[in-house]
Structure 1
Amino acid sequence: MRVRATAATAALLLAALTACGGGDDGGTAAKGKASTTAPAVDCMDENISQADWMAHCSDEGAEPGGDSTGRQATVLEFGESYTWPDGLEVTVVDAKVFTDHDEDLLESPEPGNTDFRVGLKLENGGTGPVALDDLSLIVEGATNGGEAVFTLFSKGSQPLEGRLAPGVSTTKNHDNSIESQYGRKIVVTVQRSSDDSSLAFPEFNGTITE
């Protein structure tokens, strides 16, 4: 009886050890099947690595459905229009050489530069007034570089200021001077001050004409 009891006890112990071993294997297998999905990248995290930013957040590297918050440029030609989500529509109508300087105000052309005036059309198709001084222009040469300098010629000046009521359209202009070496092909970028960091800044391509 003692031998049988010992054998039975040994058999029971062996079965228990086998069961424990199987439990370990199962745990290892479970661990091996843990999710390998990469965590979502937070593009607003100040500590994000450059590699993650380029892969997931930049305009060039953002994956479909990524968390990119960069502005997207909208490229148009003179005479075409762009409308922002609130209904404000802007058109760069033309850019013409300016020669009507007011000598009484000591205005005069600068040698080696081309003075010109950019014509704008604005229409408020939204439901609330729009502050026109929230708009500003950057004018760059489109051939071999260069950037125009903002100026203000008194005769015929219609600066971007005041408010535009809903349903109203108006024309404004923006005076500039650029070194003649940069040619007459230009890109006019219309910027708009806003708390919305994704708001587009449309670009208008055209030529300074006489």
Structure 2
Amino acid sequence: MLLPLVSACGDSDQGTAERAGSQTKADSSGGGTKTDDEKDAADEPTEDDKPDTELAVGDTFRYTDGVKVTVDRIAKVTAFGEFDDRPDADETAFRVTWTVENGTSKPVDLDSWGFNPQGATTGGETKFIYVEKGSKQMAGRLAPSRSGTYTGEYSLPKADGKEVVVEVARMDDAWMKSDDAFGDEPNWTGTIK
């Protein structure tokens, strides 16, 4: 009896995508008569046609309760301190930087979120590494109407390329009580730069 309930919940949407640099369909219409080329271009798939959970670096995912997450960048780590974890010679160290905005009326518990980057070229499991310089670990609570920018540092085998997909799992108590919590998790794809 629990299985149908979970299946039904799995079909719900956790939120919507806000694509970086894209215009709304109303803004892009422009009015007037369209040429055949413009009509053909309008029929091609656009960023807006992608599932809301498939995002690019720079895009924002807005949860149904008003919390927003943006994966800002994926960058190679080149500077290491004395006590930092250095990658092996056959690995690339990288930092994922993301921003969380609390658009709700209550604090958001940041300790129960998960950010999971994986290789997107040929697969590839990443390893968490400790890098102090430039790092901002996500922890504590985020007050209403506030935002914070955080990082996670990882390494990926060079053989697995530079494309990374970052899946975000939100598991704070307030969200897990929501009917929308069991939809597909958002994920961002980008290149280590």
Identify whether the pair has TM-score above 0.5, normalized to the shorter chain.
yes
Instruction: Give the C-alpha shift of residue 152 in structure 1.
Output: 2.2
| CA distance 1:184–1:71, shift in 2 (3 Å) | farther
Backbone CA RMSD of aligned residues:
2.3
Aligned to 1:74: 53
Bigger mean CA deviation after superposition, 150-159 or 170-179: 150-159
Instruction: Give the conservation status (yes or no) of the 8 Å contact 2:92–2:155.
Output: yes
Structure 2 length normalisation: TM-score?
Answer: 0.70
Identity of aligned residues (%): 33
Residues 68, 122 of structure 1: alpha-carbon distance in 2 compared, 3 angstrom cutoff: closer
Specify the code of the residue in structure 2 equivalent to 1:92: V
Instruction: Specify the SS of the correspondent of 2:192.
Output: strand
CA positional deviation for 1:44: 2.6
**Counterpart for residue 202 of structure 1:** 186
Q: Distance in 1 between matches of 2:68 and 2:80?
A: 31
Q: Is 2:78 aligned against 1:99?
A: yes
**Cα distance in structure 2, aligned partners of 1:161 and 1:120:** 13
Cα deviation 1:96-155 (Å, max 9, x = unaligned): 00011112x154332101000001011111110001112111111111111211222111
Unmatched 5+ stretches in structure 2 = 14-51
**Taking structure 1 as the reference length, what is the TM-score of the superposition?**
0.64
Contact 1:189 / 1:202 at 8 angstroms: preserved in 2? yes
Aligned length: 149
Relative CO higher for 1 or 2, CA cutoff 8 Å, sep ≥ 6?
Answer: 2
List 4+ stretches of structure 1 deviating above 6 A: none
Q: Which of the numbers 139, 162, 182 marks the counterpart of 1:161?
A: 139
One-letter amino acid of the counterpart of residue 44, structure 1:
L
Tell me: CA distance 1:129–1:68, structure 2 relative to 1, closer, same or farther (3 Å).
closer
The aligned residue for residue 128 of structure 1 is 106
Give the equivalent residue in structure 2 for 1:44.
3
Quote the offset at 1:45 in angstroms. Answer: 6.0
- Quote the Cα distance in structure 2 between the aligned partners of 1:143 and 1:90: 24
